[in-house]
Structure 1
């Protein structure tokens, strides 16, 4: 069977849904192909369930940090209720709501495994064994995401390790959980299970949260220890086995032995492209798909004459974050429609049809204990780029709202300022409930707001946002920003006059 449509989207997670929605909203006929659940990894096994599992214990800790409220907390965490709330938020792993939404906006759904079969062709292998070939008149967008990597450690694969899906869909938290890895999944799941009362052991060869400022990982290590977790930083598992008592026994490279009921592997991800048929369009199966800023796949057959293959979300390896993938998908869906309908295409930096923010303004929240958020460059990243910067640090508790939020509040805030441009190029906040500070930092970076102008963005008192004022005070106010501006205008006028002469 063959069917011709305008656009085919392979992958029905939030990224694929966004690409399909934008193309359909422009009037194109779109079919989305999904082999598991509409809503994808984020909705059922990643973002939504993990944050739901974390929230209840975080709320309990928040209450216990406020005198007058902590006296009212007389019980412990109800783990069964937490898991039931998680089940509600993942709709008991039923995607009928997602399928109904696709139908309501006019996007076709084909359930099955989709693979490329040459230019503009996608073969769908349906659950009943039948096959349908979809032929795209204009474009195919790949949004198949990524899978966790199980490292090559002796005996690990045979020990039936957990991946992130097992952790977020847990029915009965184990008494003891070992976690291999130090990234976002590792620290969030360590925080969640420690909140359940599980004895958590973290084995992180390279420390925690290596992509953020060092003080973020240090704060989370201290926070996890405060929750009762054991931290083995710099530790490398040499051998893993599951013994006759169904325990997981992990031998470290220094001879120490860790025993747990389950082991969670959180050491990175790989693209879901191994069975995507990339070889039929000149690309390598199993590889990340290399794209330009419009998400057009580089090297795919036919790109030079007529762009048609796009890759959005995790699969292009630009930023493995749902919100960033959705941002890419919105731009790409609009671009596909513009090209198909002969409308203007805007691919200039920060244009409508490009994902410029992937390079300099990627926001990230780690819902650990404490929360860590960042956007833009770290101090080390700015140094690698050869930027002339000033790094400004203040304690989060310097904001009056922090002390009101929680007794004994502790945290840290950092700005990385490009001195030549006079703008913020990086920001990191660590502490309870700092996630809501991230958007203001993202706007400052994306908008390239001059430091002199930021002084006029007055934070309300008494809020956590007052930390912005403390950061600017530590940086120092320009002596006379208006005079500097007038001097700059005078120089430009003089240059113009000289050129005219």
Structure 2
């Protein structure tokens, strides 16, 4: 049924729901009227000017980073930690790097309401006291699935109102056997476009091509495109210790100076960073997490993700010969153990 009340009946053997998600504005009074989302920022017809970014997700930091790179005055308001769900050592390194390169951070703070000024700017309040006035306020406090736009109860679908998502089994099948989901609308799966594309392809092959192969949601590589790029696959250090137990986890790490930074005086104190997390109770120390912070980190982690997916070990890393002079060659000579208190000191090119 459309908005005009026109009804149309359709029959189908299979139905695929792929309605995705949309940015959330939270429960802050005035947010919808005064703020924009990470989707909206790309449709603005005038420069953002002095900008407040609210949130500490990868979307928040990426938006803050590119706006600061264009020369705008950018402040990020953070409730608690940066990049929840990512490795926290690296999250803090990203924050420090961004501060050094022009982004301001306000920690332990949340807005209480927003008001539009007569000049069209946004007045921000914290604990109901005026905090500041901005040309643009970008809300990046999470995303909500769009399943709420559908009449889920009428279809018998198991739906979570708290996050707007649908519950599915390992075959992307909802509580109604012939209705399937892919993408951000599935509860508990990575909110990444390539994940949705892969899951959709595999589902089509199962439904129409005779395949039985399921989507493997484990060890999905991803990158955070902040001013200093971050690539990751597998567990963060925190997740590894939580899921395997602290006594089973060993963390190798090192710093390295990328060649392209070596002669740049503005980067004389900047360093890249790498971390390899292993399960020391497995033969040859199986790698359960790899992290890289530095130039082209997404390109580096894409290749390493194949090795992690294949079950590589630290011994495999050690048996490789590095390509000189590259940033990633440090993975082949990494010996510093974090738990022994060894600092991640390493030379560069």
- TM-score tier by shorter-chain length is 0.7 to 0.9
**Does 2:93 match 1:219?**
yes
Whole-angstrom CA distance in 1 between matches of 2:317 and 2:276: 13
2:123 and 2:130 in contact (8 A); partners too: no
Q: 2:319 maps to what in 1?
A: 456
Structure 1: 5+ residue stretches without partners: 1-122, 347-352, 476-501
Whole-angstrom CA distance in 2 between matches of 1:329 and 1:181: 30
Whole-angstrom CA distance in 1 between matches of 2:31 and 2:315: 55
> Could you state the TM-score of these two structures normalised by the residue count of structure 2?
0.85
Whole-angstrom CA distance in 2 between matches of 1:131 and 1:396: 63
Query: Structure 1 residues 363, 428: CA separation in 2 closer, same or farther (over 3 Å shift)?
Result: same
1:262 to 127, 131, 136: 136
1:146 and 1:269 in contact (8 A); partners too: yes
2:44 to 170, 184, 189: 170
Residue 240 of structure 1 aligns to a residue in which SS? strand
2:277 and 2:290 in contact (8 A); partners too: yes
Deviations 1:183-226 (A, max 9, x none): 01111110111112211111010232122111222222223223
Q: 1:394 maps to what in 2?
A: 254
Q: 1:433 maps to what in 2?
A: 296
1:316 to 186, 211, 217: 186
Residue 47 of structure 2 aligns to a residue in which SS? coil
Deviations 1:218-240 (A, max 9, x none): 22222322332221011111222
Whole-angstrom CA distance in 1 between matches of 2:301 and 2:66: 22
Query: Structure 1 residues 403, 243: CA separation in 2 closer, same or farther (over 3 Å shift)?
Result: closer
Residue 173 of structure 2 aligns to a residue in which SS? coil
1:162 and 1:262 in contact (8 A); partners too: yes
Structure 1, 402-411 or 165-174: larger mean CA deviation: 402-411
Q: 2:273 maps to what in 1?
A: 412
Residues 159-238 of structure 1: matches in 2 within 5 Å?
A: 160-238=34-112
CA-CA distance at 1:445 after TM superposition: 1.6
Which has the larger Rg? 1
Whole-angstrom CA distance in 2 between matches of 1:458 and 1:384: 33
Residue 426 of structure 1 aligns to a residue in which SS? strand
1:147 to 7, 22, 25: 22
Whole-angstrom CA distance in 2 between matches of 1:405 and 1:362: 35
Residue 455 of structure 1 aligns to a residue in which SS? helix
2:230 and 2:292 in contact (8 A); partners too: yes
1:402 and 1:463 in contact (8 A); partners too: no
Query: Structure 1 residues 130, 155: CA separation in 2 closer, same or farther (over 3 Å shift)?
Result: closer
Q: 2:231 maps to what in 1?
A: 373
CA-CA distance at 1:129 after TM superposition: 8.2
Residues 49-448 of structure 1: matches in 2 within 5 Å?
A: 125=2, 132-137=8-13, 139-158=14-33, 160-253=34-127, 255=129, 257-284=131-158, 286=161, 287-297=164-174, 299-300=175-176, 303=177, 308-317=178-187, 318-338=189-209, 343=210, 345-346=211-212, 353-356=213-216, 358=217, 360-387=218-245, 388-397=248-257, 401=259, 408=268, 409-421=270-282, 422-448=285-311
Query: Structure 1 residues 256, 457: CA separation in 2 closer, same or farther (over 3 Å shift)?
Result: farther
Whole-angstrom CA distance in 2 between matches of 1:355 and 1:393: 31
Residue 166 of structure 2 aligns to a residue in which SS? coil
Deviations 1:264-309 (A, max 9, x none): 1000111111122221221255531111222111x22xx2xxxx21
Q: Give the aligned length.
A: 326
Residue 274 of structure 1 aligns to a residue in which SS? helix
Whole-angstrom CA distance in 2 between matches of 1:460 and 1:405: 20
Whole-angstrom CA distance in 2 between matches of 1:450 and 1:202: 39
2:158 and 2:167 in contact (8 A); partners too: no
1:173 and 1:196 in contact (8 A); partners too: no
Query: Structure 1 residues 404, 224: CA separation in 2 closer, same or farther (over 3 Å shift)?
Result: closer
> Could you say which structure has the higher helix fraction?
1
2:66 and 2:227 in contact (8 A); partners too: no
Structure 2: 5+ residue stretches without partners: 338-349
CA-CA distance at 1:402 after TM superposition: 6.1
Whole-angstrom CA distance in 1 between matches of 2:8 and 2:256: 57
Deviations 1:241-265 (A, max 9, x none): 1122222111223956121011110
Deviations 1:45-95 (A, max 9, x none): xxxxxxxxxxxxxxxxxxxxxxxxxxxxxxxxxxxxxxxxxxxxxxxxxxx
